[in-house]
Amino acid sequence: MTKLVDPTFAEAASNFMPDPQWLNATGNGVTVAMIDSGVDAAHPDLVGRICEEVGAKIEGSRVTFLPVEDGDLAGHGTACAGIITQLAPDAKIASIRVLGASGSGDAQVFLAGLEYAVKQRYKIINLSLGTTKPQFFAPLHDLLDRAYQAGCIVIAAANNLPQPSFPSIFSSSLISVVKSEERDPLKFGFHYGEVIELTAPGVSIRTPWLGGGYRTLTGNSFACPHITGLLARLVETHPELTPFQAKSALHAIARLNSE
């Protein structure tokens, strides 16, 4: 008879606990790829923290990414980047702009942005966006598998509407997040076996916004970068961390939170 699951391996994975030094880490030496609407690099909370800014250029069916200087077109990316740097102030942000001024965009461009980040082998990739179009299920699934095999840790926000979105439901190859009313970012939850496994603060979150200002926002988009910021600390402490180990570490920390 074939043994499908090794209980000792499963137990070891669920009990993986990182060195507690990660709590004092700041994300130093870690770069997070933000696939979003861009980032306002001039915002006081983000000055000096943006290491790359590229935007999508569409030529027929071809999407390329070129340097841009007009920052964030919608504010959404700035808000998410600010949450990451609040938790990991020394982390760098690579902004990969795929959304327009309305905060929406083409799913094919989103796919190209994710592929760009994977090809650059960014260790951590934040996806506070997704698509509900079924024709992108397969190509996104394949690309997320490539990301996993390349060692990229991908964190994706669930859809705010009661409808599954991709890639957040691909729980085997990424870390998916939904908002909670918890205020302490260290007290996130992990619900093994759920489609969206992690919960993190995402209600009435104060974030930076365009023009040097701030807004108080609610949504799964803003829960996602809370986990991304904590992962930047973990990766600073454990640079060799694989996507599987990252999820195992989050599971172990969440279990500790619940005890």
Give the three-class secondary structure for 54.
strand
pLDDT of residue 171: 75
Question: Which pLDDT value is given to residue 138?
Answer: 94
Of 36, 40, 45, 72, the active-site residue reads 36
Residue 228 φ then ψ, to 5°? -60, -45
Q: How far apart are CA 113 and CA 26, in angstroms?
A: 26
Domains identified in the chain, total number: 1
Give the predicted TM-score (pTM) of the model: 0.91
pLDDT of res. 99? 96
Q: What is the pLDDT of residue 161?
A: 84
Expressed as residue numbers, the domain containing 126 is 22-258
DSSP for residue 135: G
Per-residue pLDDT of the chain (259 residues; tens, 9 = 90+): 333 433 443 444 445 566 788 999 999 999 999 999 999 999 999 999 999 999 999 888 899 999 999 999 999 999 999 999 999 999 999 999 999 999 999 999 999 999 999 999 999 999 999 999 999 999 999 999 999 999 999 999 999 888 888 898 887 789 999 999 999 999 999 988 888 999 999 999 999 999 999 999 999 999 999 999 999 999 999 999 999 999 999 998 987 766 5
- Residue 36 bears catalytic tag: yes
221 catalytic per annotation = yes
**Angstrom distances, CA of residue 106 to CA of 63, 110, 231:** 11, 6, 28
Task: Quote the pLDDT of residue 108.
Answer: 94
Does residue 14 belong to any structural domain of this protein?
no
Determine, yes or no, domain membership for 54.
Answer: yes
Q: Does residue 4 fall inside a structural domain?
A: no
Look at residue 100 and tell me if it is in a domain: yes
Known active-site residue 37: no
In a domain, 186, yes or no: yes
Closest CA to 181 of 226, 128, 125: 226
Choose among 227, 244, 231, 245: nearest CA to 122: 231
Query: CATH number of the domain that 59 lies in?
Result: 3.40.50.200
Catalytic residue among 43, 76, 226, 251: 76
Q: Which residue among the candidates 165, 171, 176, 221 is catalytic per the annotation?
A: 221
Q: Is residue 13 domain-resident?
A: no
Q: Are strands 31-36 and 92-97 parallel, antiparallel or unpaired?
A: parallel
- In a domain? residue 15: no
